[in-house]
């Protein structure tokens, strides 16, 4: 690429190559990966819900973050459909909940950021800064899902990560256009 | 490989062309290689880029699928 990264005006991810992979490394199979990815999506959904409430007085911002909440719900639904399509069965959520509840269970969102900390951070910040945080979080999730689809050996898990990365890409484009509208 | 191979022109893309290419293609359809140092990669990298520092490239060529277009930066 001409000019290297300095010429790049698009989105960038950060962190070392193994960033975020630790969340998924104990997940040896597709079912466990679905459980973990679901937890992270759940965390993101809770974050966006919190942000929507925070900007309650700003109609446009509230609607924007509520749209993100519904987009996360859509991600969760697709995740389940992908898993069921691959394995023929729904994941065993009881088993997954007991396995991962300590580490995740909606307390951490995509990009590995704790939801509480993120909601604390947006206090006193504007809509654009909150959107930028959302974009940073989604970019890192996108980056992670692509890397995971290349490194994980389980074929079904590979498919799930590919699906997730494709969805993040669409999600990011929407977020970027929302940010463009606000700045 | 003959000596003339060193003088082969390598097609380059502008950052804008790469951005468009990455938007249109699925990550499965290309190799995106970051040949900088790990610390540079850590600071910022194009989402989905695979870190293969220049110094390791020769030993890690097997990680690059020759059937797919490769973008390096």
Residue B8 in any domain: the answer is: no
Best residue of B27, B44, B49, B73 to probe chain A, by most A CBs closer than 10 Å = B27
Domain containing residue A169: CATH number: 1.20.1260.10
Q: Which of A125-134, A139-148, B6-15 has the lowest mean pLDDT?
A: B6-15
The whole model's pTM is what? 0.75
B33: pLDDT strictly greater than 80: yes
* Residue A105: per-residue pLDDT: 60
Mean pLDDT of A55-70: 89
Number of domains making up chain A: 1
Domain that holds residue B34: 13-72
Higher pLDDT, A147 or A48: A48
Specify if B6 maps to a domain: no
A66 CA to chain B: closest CA distance, Å?
26
Kindly state whether B72 is in contact with chain A, defined as any CB-CB distance less than 8 angstroms.
Answer: yes
Is B54's pLDDT higher than 80?
yes
Q: Closest chain B residue to A17 measured between Cα atoms? A: B51
Mind telling me how many Å the CA of A98 is from chain B's nearest CA? 32
CA–CA distance, A94 with A117 (Å, rounded to integer): 27
| Interchain CB distance below 8 Å, A3 and B15 | yes
Residue A171: which residues within 8 A CB-CB, separation 6 or more? Answer: A71, A75, A138
Query: Does pLDDT of A182 surpass 60?
Result: yes
CA-nearest residue of chain A to B21?
A1
Q: Is residue A100 part of a domain?
A: yes
| pLDDT for the residue numbered B56 | 93
Domain assignment of residue A8, yes or no: no
**A137 part of a folded domain:** yes
Confidence at residue A49, expressed as pLDDT on a 0 to 100 scale = 94
- Whether residue B5 lies inside any domain: the answer is no
Domain that holds residue A70: 28-182
Q: Which among A44, A106, A102, A104 is positioned nearest to A75, based on CA atoms?
A: A44
Q: Mean pLDDT over residues B24-41, rounded? A: 91
Interface of B with A in 12-71 (CB under 8 A): 12-16, 18-19, 22-23, 26-28, 34, 36, 38, 40-51, 71
Tally A–B CB contacts below 8 A. Answer: 82
A63: pLDDT strictly greater than 70: yes
Over residues A77-99, the pLDDT tens digits come to 877 787 787 778 887 777 766 66
| Distance of alpha carbon A5 from alpha carbon B42, whole angstroms | 13
- Distance, in Å, from the CA atom of B65 to the CA atom of B73, rounded to the nearest integer, reads 17
Q: What is the structure's pLDDT at A166?
A: 85
The enclosing domain of B33 has a CATH number of 3.40.250.10
The number of distinct structural domains making up chain B is: 1
C-alpha distance from A38 to closest chain B C-alpha (Å) = 21
Check pLDDT > 90 for residue B60.
Answer: yes
Highest mean pLDDT among A9-23, A97-111, A142-156: A142-156
pLDDT bucket at A14, cuts 50 / 70 / 90 = confident
Question: For an interface test with A, which of B33, B37, B48 has the most A Cβ atoms less than 10 Å from its Cβ?
Answer: B48
A26-52 pLDDT, tens per residue? 555 777 777 778 778 888 899 999 999
Average pLDDT over residues A159-168: 84
Flag whether A11 is in a domain: no
- Please determine, for residue A22, whether its predicted confidence score (pLDDT) is greater than 70: no
Residue A72 falls inside a structural domain? yes
Residues comprising chain A, all counted = 183
DSSP-based three-state secondary structure for B32: strand
The whole-number pLDDT of residue A20 equals 65
- Does A11 sit within 8 Å of B47, measured CB to CB? yes
Q: Read off the pLDDT of each residue in A7-34 and give the average, rounded to a whole number.
A: 70
Q: Is the CB of B15 less than 8 angstroms away from the CB of A166?
A: no
The C-alpha of A62 sits at a distance from chain B's nearest C-alpha, in angstroms, of 28
Chain A residue whose CA is closest to B31: A150
Closest Cα partner for A15 from B53, B61, B49?
B49
Of the listed ranges A88-92, A147-151, A165-169, B5-9, the one predicted with least confidence: B5-9
Strands A113-114 and A108-109: antiparallel
Beta-carbon separation of A13 and B45 below 8 A: yes
- Number of residues that make up chain B: 73
């Amino acid at each position: 690429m001409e000019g290297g990264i300095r010429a790049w005006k698009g989105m960038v991810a950060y962190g070392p190559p193994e960033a975020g992979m630790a969340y998924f490394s104990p997940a040896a199979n597709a079912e466990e990966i679905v459980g973990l990815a679901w937890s992270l999506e759940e965390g993101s959904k809770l974050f966006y819900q919190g942000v929507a409430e925070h900007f309650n007085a700003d109609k446009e911002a509230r609607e924007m973050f509520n749209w993100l909440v519904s987009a996360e719900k859509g991600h969760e639904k697709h995740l389940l459909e992908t898993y069921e399509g691959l394995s023929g069965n729904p994941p065993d959520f009881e088993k997954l909940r007991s396995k991962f509840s300590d580490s995740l269970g909606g307390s951490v969102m995509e990009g590995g950021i704790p939801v509480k900390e993120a909601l604390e951070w947006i206090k006193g910040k504007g809509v654009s800064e909150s959107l930028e945080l959302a974009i940073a979080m989604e970019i890192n999730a996108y980056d992670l899902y692509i890397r995971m689809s290349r490194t994980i050996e389980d074929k079904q898990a590979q498919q799930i990560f590919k699906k997730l990365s494709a969805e993040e890409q669409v999600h990011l484009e929407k977020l970027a256009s929302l940010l463009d509208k606000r700045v | 490989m003959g000596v003339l191979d060193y003088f082969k022109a390598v097609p380059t893309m502008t950052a804008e062309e790469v951005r468009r290419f990455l938007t249109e293609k699925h990550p499965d359809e290309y190799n995106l290689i970051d040949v900088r140092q790990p610390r540079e990669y850590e600071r910022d990298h194009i989402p989905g880029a695979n870190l293969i520092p220049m110094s390791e490239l020769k030993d890690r060529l097997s990680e690059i699928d020759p059937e797919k277009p490769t973008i390096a930066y």
